[in-house]
Amino acid sequence: MTNGYHIVVCGSVVPDPLQTLEPVAGPTGPALKNEMMLPAVLDPWAAHALYEAANLATKVVGSKLWLVSVGPKAKLQQVMMTIAQRVSFELVPVDASASGFADSHSTAALLAEAIQSIPGLDRTRLLVFGGWESASRGAGTTMQLVGERLDILDQFQGVDQLNPQPDGSFEVLERIEGGRHQVSACSGPPLLLGWATGNLPEPRNNPQVGMANMRSVMPALQRAKSVPLPVGGLHFLSASPPKQRRQTRVVKDLSSEQIAQEIAEWIGK
């Protein structure tokens, strides 16, 4: 493709995974204790998608890259100070809740609307990237719903590799059961990919890239409109962290077959 791609990456912010997360009952449903005080990072699954998209954009002349992110404006600004130094992109922010308890249908509607509002977006060159899963919105359906709202029929989930072909088509490497990959062929854009881990390392910080990005990131954050994220009819009766449970029994002189049998019986219960 001589004109390049229009690549849109969907990714939100999540609490730093090194923090202790404690669910509490909020006025609108479950929430995290002191959520706004917790340090945030870009969703790891979305980060893989962003790095793969940036790598593709640098290889194909004429490509453009946007990052569409739904989250609190203050948290987005905090995270963009770091992410903006790694790859070049144009931010399309939506000031809304990044809660993991949000309905995936509501989230997908906001993302699709934000993508459709991008000026000059060419559908014949459109690639939509996102995380196959999420560290916060772990429903596993958000990207599929975004694709449906954008009328993108060619969707691939659990992607580890995307190879553009000389004729404009794509070869897609998807994860399937049994630790194997499925190789698929797609004729061309529009295309939606839910990325797994990909193959690329995390890019190094580049202050020059960061300064160039922040010239557009800060005005975009200032213009971001605040949108209430509807719950979509979901009702949570309770939310609590998993409890630690440990049962230890010291036994001697058991064969490996007997140990395996005990483990299988314990799992079966």
The CATH T-level fold of domain 6-223 is Rossmann fold (3.40.50)
**HSE value, Cβ hemisphere, 13 Å, CA-based, for 181:** 13
| pLDDT score of 77 | 85
Q: What is the pLDDT of residue 210?
A: 85
The DSSP bridge pattern shows strands 29-32 and 23-26 to be antiparallel
Separation between Cα atoms, residue 30 and residue 48, nearest integer Å: 28
Predicted TM-score (pTM) of this structure = 0.79
Q: Stretch 253-263: mean pLDDT, rounded?
A: 87
pLDDT at res. 65:
92
Q: Provide the pLDDT confidence category of residue 126 given band limits of 50, 70 and 90.
A: very high
Beta-carbon-side half-sphere exposure of residue 205 (alpha carbons within 13 Å) = 6
Least confident of 36-50, 151-165, 183-197: 36-50
- What pLDDT is recorded for position 225? 80
Question: Which has the higher per-residue pLDDT, 2 or 192?
Answer: 192
218: its two tokens: 């800060």
Given a cut of 90, is residue 128 above it in pLDDT? yes
Residue 134 pLDDT grade (very low, low, confident, very high; cuts 50, 70, 90) = confident
Over 60: is that where the pLDDT of 165 sits?
A: yes
- Per-residue pLDDT averaged across 95-105, rounded? 76
Closest alpha carbon to 107 in 142, 55, 62: 142
- Percent of the chain predicted with pLDDT > 70: 86
CA distance 85 to 79: 11
What would the DSSP string read from start to end of the chain?
--S--EEEEE--EEE-TTS---EEEETTEEEETTGGGS-EEE-HHHHHHHHHHHHHHHHSTT-EEEEEEEE-HHHHHHHHHHHTTTS--EEEEEES---TTS-HHHHHHHHHHHHHTSTT--GGGEEEEEESS-SS-TTS-HHHHHHHHTT---EEEEEEEEEE-TTS-EEEEEEEGGGEEEEEEE-SSSEEEEESS-SPPPPPP-HHHHHHHHHHHHHHHHHPPB-----TT---S---PPPP--------S--HHHHHHHHHHHHH-
Task: Check whether 190 has a pLDDT greater than 60.
Answer: yes
Cis-peptide into 230, omega within 30 deg:
no
CA–CA separation, 193 vs 179, rounded Å? Answer: 19
Q: Give domain limits for the chain.
A: 6-223
Round the average pLDDT of the chain to a whole number and report it: 83
